[in-house]
Structure 1
Amino acid sequence: MNFIQCASRYVMRKKTRCTLLILLLTTVFTLILTVVSIAAHANTTIEQMENNFNREFVINAYNAPGALTLDRIAEISDRDDIAAYRSISNAVPVEFSSDNGTPLSVKTDGDSCFVSPGFEHAGTLVSNVTSDSDALFSEGTLTILSGRHITESDKGKILIHKELADKNDLHLGDTIQMHFSQVITRDMESMGYDTSHMDTHMIQGEIIGIFGSRDNEQNTGLHLSHQLYENYCYIDLETYSSVFNPKSQRFFCQAAFSVASSSDLAVVTNEIKNLEWPAGQPAGIASDLDSFAGMIGSLASLSNLLKIILMVIIVVCITLLYFLLSHGVKQRKREIGIMMSFGLSKSHILMQHIAEVLIAAVIAMVIALPISGGIVHGTGEHIVSAAVDQNDGSELLATEETHERPRKTQIENKGASISPDAAEIMLLFGFLLIPVSVMTAEFSVLRKEPKENLKSIS
């Protein structure tokens, strides 16, 4: 009878002892598979974040009107490490009145409409190089119904919503007035705007276009009245810039730049920060990496912690396994002595004992795989969900205080599974460390003569 058959018979005969060994090994393998797979999934999520974000940074120059001029935007976009750019439309609250100073009626009704004190006749003043380059027009949310768009050469020209026009009997060619009350300027200052150079006196604009808005069924929840599309007013960039900084060229308060795939996002943003700015240093340059930094750091810390836990698990489990095997060997001294007396070689006896433990290990692996798979799947989904939730919380990176809608970075959640590395470590532990542990535990017994083992029992 070969050692494999002997091992199989022993496993069938000593059910209690083998069950205890299988339970120990199942626990060990489940811990190894779970810890390594979760760590691998955390690393995969980090890689997905770093590879899939938009590689975009946004310059915020609310505090320095005139810093982010068209020339400066062109200078930055011409760099070899910049792949593309987009100017984020300027958008600030403003009060409307007719050409004779009578306040205009704006949309303030509706259950989801909230009117801030001092904003009863206010809307949102928007500007871009041309009005058709604004995201809401380019994506089709807003559409010109009559008249034309604002061009780059226009000055003192505006577009208004059809509802604002109908409410106040306004038509193409009419003039409306806009001004910034103390309530509005204080509100702008609280958002980080520098109003020290701002001309808060009345500005006028000739209506050259009337637009309508597409109904947005997803646009639910509470909204400030002046941020409703019906209260939007588009003005040329020349007039807008002269209001905030009469000495400046045309400028934007925000612009977004995409970094080339071959360039380091952090290095590029740092170089942009160190440029000399014509009207003061912008308040900040925020990148997609900033949005993910907290989650990447948390996942990296989790991965490192799990690596430490894995080492502790392996050391503890090897120690427990050694003592369990050593205890089993002491109880089998008489059996070993008799087997050696019958002429069985030490190598045969050792191979039989190794085979016994390996049979238990294979059974434990079969049990541990589905158990660990379920744990890893649930925990992995939780990790990715947490990452997505954090991303959702930082989506206003490029759009805070504007109507521009963010381009959300997607993190695909397919659920975690047992990683190949975890399976390899389990197999390494099962088919290398376990035999080594058996040989170490039995060394003191097998090196003795049969009579010595039999004598120690008596």
Structure 2
Amino acid sequence: MNFITRAVLYTARKWKKTLLLFCLLLAITTLVLSGLAIADVQEEQAEEVRGTTGASFTVSRNTATGGWSSDRGGSFSTQEYLTADKMESIAAINGIEGYNASIRTILCLSDRRGQWLEQMEPTGHAIVDCQFYSYSCINSKYHSLFLSGALVMCEGRTIDSSVKNGIVISKDIADKHDLKVGDTLQAVNTPLSDDKTMDLEIVGLFEVVADKTDERNHYNESSYYEYTNNAFVSEAAMKKLLENYADVGYASADFFVSDPERLESILHEVQKINTINWNNFFITANDEVYQNISSALSDTGTLITTLIVVITAVSMVLMILILSMSVRSRKREAGILLAVGIAKPVVVLQYLLEVLLIAAAAFPLAYLSSKQAAGTLGTLFGKTAEHIIVTSEHFMLVVVVGSVLLVTAVLASCIPAMRLKPKTILSQME
């Protein structure tokens, strides 16, 4: 009788032990496959966060190194502003996907007939109710209010450098005054003055998604204007509207990177630009949201990996203990086989084949059961069940690694008995 036949007959005869090993392998493999599927979803989520979480940096004027002056608008810093050349040299660095800078002011808006527009909740004073908190934009899609999701474009287009005399207003204001994309508004910074009045085309409308939650415990003029009373104006138009004012320019600019993990290296490259006097500007990294989310994802990923390692290690120890006990209980059988001339490697091969036969049944069944278990376990880590998929790649990995570990466990459990000679083995049996 060859070792293959002996292995099959022993596995069938000792069905209780076979069932124990089968259940153990089934449970272990199911858990490991589920863990690998959850880990993959975790990695995909981390990649998605890298692509969608807004990591940026801000270059701002360092007013501490500049002087001070005054005009009709009051005192102001004479520190140099960010120019188009400076911003473009920064934006040219590989890894920066876009940037925006804004000049903020309060514009009074009217329709083409000269009728002042009203805010959503007018006070009854026309010269106050027509005031809208306005931002010039190099690229409004990178404005913090749109990036944060507080506002979302619903019609038309955003403001960028190709728009010369355009404005984006809220859909609520447009509906109130029967305005639409393509209509023209008139804008002026300060009425009853020599400030220029300009015609601006409505190029887009936005909707307010989030309620305004600014705490007004310190002075911030934008906090006194509801989001519906905000407006976004093209860069070229804003400069003309404010040409009577000396203190007009870009005090800061926000630059957005495509990969948050590259933010630090990009900052080093930016600071090497020798056409910018960095004594007059400073850089601030804005990746707190990404770092917090990334840290949480990393901690979860580490926990999942640790659990997989612990499950594998504990399972390996259990298998060795069970197989060692089995080998010790079969000393007489082993001694007889060795005494009749069967080589030790063949005996070990029989033991190995017995375990692999059980694994051959347990692994495919575990693949099927893990498809259900993975979703259930994934919810414990905050994952959506339908997104957790056990793939054939996971199965092949577990089969290969699991088979290697089983072989190792069988060999480790056989070492004590196989070191002895047949006579010694038989003499130890009662």
- TM-score of the superposition, structure 1-length normalised? 0.61
Deviation, 1:306, is 4.3
Provide, for residues 12-56 of structure 1, a one-character-per-residue CA deviation record: whole Å limited to 9, x for no partner.
Answer: 221111111112222332343344444454345445555x45997
Work out the CA distance in 2 between the residues paired with 1:455 and 1:130.
89
Matches within 5 A, 1:320-339: 320-339=318-337
Partner of 1:59: 58
Work out the CA distance in 1 between the residues paired with 2:107 and 2:313.
68
Secondary structure at the aligned position of 1:26 is classed as helix
The count of corresponding residues between Structure 1 and Structure 2 is 375
1:87 and 2:100 equivalent? yes
The verdict on how the C-alpha distance between 1:72 and 1:429 changes in structure 2, with shifts beyond 3 A counting, is: same
The verdict on how the C-alpha distance between 1:272 and 1:382 changes in structure 2, with shifts beyond 3 A counting, is: farther
* 2:266 equivalent among 260, 265, 268: 268
The verdict on how the C-alpha distance between 1:239 and 1:172 changes in structure 2, with shifts beyond 3 A counting, is: same
Partner of 1:28: 28
8 Å contact kept, 1:39–1:302: no
Matches within 5 A, 1:244-283: 246-248=245-247, 250-251=249-250, 253-256=252-255, 264-272=262-270, 281=281
The verdict on how the C-alpha distance between 1:130 and 1:338 changes in structure 2, with shifts beyond 3 A counting, is: closer
Structure 2 letter corresponding to 1:237: M
8 Å contact kept, 1:130–1:150: no
Deviation, 1:3, is 1.6
Work out the CA distance in 1 between the residues paired with 2:360 and 2:326.
19
Deviation, 1:310, is 4.1
8 Å contact kept, 2:22–2:362: yes
Matches within 5 A, 1:129-140: 140=156
1:74 and 2:46 equivalent? no
8 Å contact kept, 1:106–1:122: yes
Deviation, 1:324, is 0.9
8 Å contact kept, 1:40–1:419: no
State the percentage of identical aligned residues: 18
1:18 and 2:18 equivalent? yes
The verdict on how the C-alpha distance between 1:204 and 1:457 changes in structure 2, with shifts beyond 3 A counting, is: same
When the two chains are superposed, the root-mean-square deviation of aligned CA atoms in Å is: 5.2
8 Å contact kept, 2:58–2:254: yes
Partner of 1:441: 413
8 Å contact kept, 2:104–2:136: yes
The verdict on how the C-alpha distance between 1:418 and 1:212 changes in structure 2, with shifts beyond 3 A counting, is: closer
Q: Which runs of 5+ in 1 are unaligned?
A: 110-118, 144-148, 180-200, 387-412
Provide, for residues 187-236 of structure 1, a one-character-per-residue CA deviation record: whole Å limited to 9, x for no partner.
Answer: xxxxxxxxxxxxxx98845252464865x6x7556469944557648583
Deviation, 1:436, is 3.1
Partner of 1:196: none
Partner of 1:125: 134
* 1:428 equivalent among 392, 398, 401: 401
1:208 and 2:199 equivalent? yes
Partner of 1:400: none
The verdict on how the C-alpha distance between 1:371 and 1:233 changes in structure 2, with shifts beyond 3 A counting, is: closer
Work out the CA distance in 2 between the residues paired with 1:11 and 1:138.
69
Work out the CA distance in 2 between the residues paired with 1:137 and 1:343.
85
The verdict on how the C-alpha distance between 1:339 and 1:73 changes in structure 2, with shifts beyond 3 A counting, is: closer
Work out the CA distance in 1 between the residues paired with 2:253 and 2:420.
83
